[in-house]
Structure 1
Amino acid sequence: MRPFKFTNTTTSYAAINLLDKNPNASFLAGGTNLLDLMKEDVERPDELIDITRLDLTSISSITTGTNSRGVSIGGLGKNTDAANHQLIRKNYPLLTKAILAGASAQIRNMATNGGNLLQRTRCSYFYDTAMPCNKRMPGTGCGAMDGFNRMHAIFGWSDNCVAVYPSDMAVALSALNASINVMQQDGKIRSIAINDFHRLPETHPEKDNVLNRGELITSIELPKNNFAAHAAYVKVRDRNSYAFALVSVAAGLVLDGNKIVSAHISMGGVAHKPWQALKAEAILKGKTATLTNFRLAAEAEMSEAKPLSHNKFKVGLGINTIISALEMALKGTDFKA
């Protein structure tokens, strides 16, 4: 690991200004991803700005008058606290399930909610500094394109990058239509829809998201929804723990009897960002909740996949995982708040 300066700060505005003064500085929160990248010499900040003392950890209802319109989650709150909070477990069990499916308990105790959204790909070519990688060093090429790409994207990739985004939490947030609040350099807050927050690689795979330099995630807002009782998160991986998804699916169903009023489906492990299954959602709207319709929607969504040389299996796996998640959502949430 290269030498770096460590700087403390106690306000969001001060942290942003410190980052603005040094183009090679990075924010440090939980550090569960950044420190690994520094050890591998992938990230090379010469200054870490400690933001752990900022007052951005609370979880609270968002109300208008006496009516709740959702929940706000602090950007520096820990993943464990978000997953186990009464408001989340009761009203957003999909998010609880997704967070608990990720990493280990020890990492969840350290990782922050904002940091989870900002984690970088686990592509082995990105981590190996001896290999070409446009995400790590633009213009060098994509080693995975013609290399071993079993874990890589089947949607939204470009010739410049076929890496996938690793977060489980973000996949659930995508299905929940969350929004991300960020503080800008002028101190103003802007809100970004979760499905607009992460980028597809296109010609700039080095840009994971739409944040501008110096912007700081302050909170995540979850709008009120009607599918808490019918939500599921299914994660398929090579081993049952400490592994990233081959394919994952977050699904929520708004039902009127056995009729699907609306479906909310997002996928992980298949693209450079959480992949919103818009085609499947559209097909299911107004249909009866049957296995036949679940399969029809899943097959339609996966028909647009463009697998690489080693991950064609993800197409069939995606179909089965969507169906499984929808069946579990129909059956009902399987734990109590």
Structure 2
Amino acid sequence: MRVSIALMIDKLFNIEVRLGKDFEDVLASLRMTGGFNNDSDSASALIQTICIFLPSTLDIKLKKWDTVKDVDKYTKPIEGSESYPEYVHEAFKWLSNELKTKKEYFDLNKVEKLLDVKASSLKTHHRLSKIRSMLGYPGNFGESFFATLFDEIFLGSEGVEKKYSWKPRYVLYKGTLENEILLISEESIRRLARYLPKGIAIVTGRGRWETEKTLSRVLKYFNMEASIFTADKGLEYEKPRPKALIESAKSLGTKKLIYAGNSMEDLLMSQAACREGLEVGFVAVSNNEDLSREFEVRGADAIIEDINQLPSLIENIRV
């Protein structure tokens, strides 16, 4: 996500962006609202937020998109607590404060309405409209410019060719997916398989292709027929709607589930599924103090810092 934000601001305005700890803070604030489980939604919201805080004298410099080959220059690690330039930091601070103060459910559409009001006060609404027109987001891969760019960065050139039969158009890159680390150990999954007689399934906002690539070493432990990949399905499956969880439970042949997730959408989906007749014990996975506190306030059944703690938690419940 950092790469797509830094690359877009550079290409649009010829401005080098460095993302600091405040990026993580505003991202956590978005995720706490319950409507930002999708990373491309978060990236779109943050790009728009930065754009309205840029000096009013700046205008879009991009005339023609040339394929970006040196993507690695946008992958530099977080430096310090504040993003650079200063107006990026101010943009993140403003949005984070707005979301924390309002304590409401926000999705991309609702954040965009918030941005409309702020852009009008900053006299940058015309620029915001142009940015939205260029992004063409939300939308489908191959149709929406930003949805396509985001997946080219995330999946990489080889990935979009394999998943979409698509020749990269905007970037030539190995993909940030290559850098992902499997967070759960094989031993932890083995233990879960012993404790859960109906099996283990996945309900994720990602697509099946990228999920299988990341989990390739441990896929044999999952019931893939009962797994739901909402990015490959329609809007009615998107979190926090409960349809994906309900269908997964039906495929597993159970009405009792333990669902582990790291976003507020996961909790809201679990609670919605309970209202539809399932019994779902929700385990929040978070090492962010603010997010953990919000999970507790909103009714998570348990909170763990590491997904590898889940087998021990279940074992203690069974005793």
* TMscore range, shorter length: under 0.3
TM-score, with length taken from structure 1: 0.23
TM-score, with length taken from structure 2: 0.24
- The structure where helix makes up a greater share of residues is 2
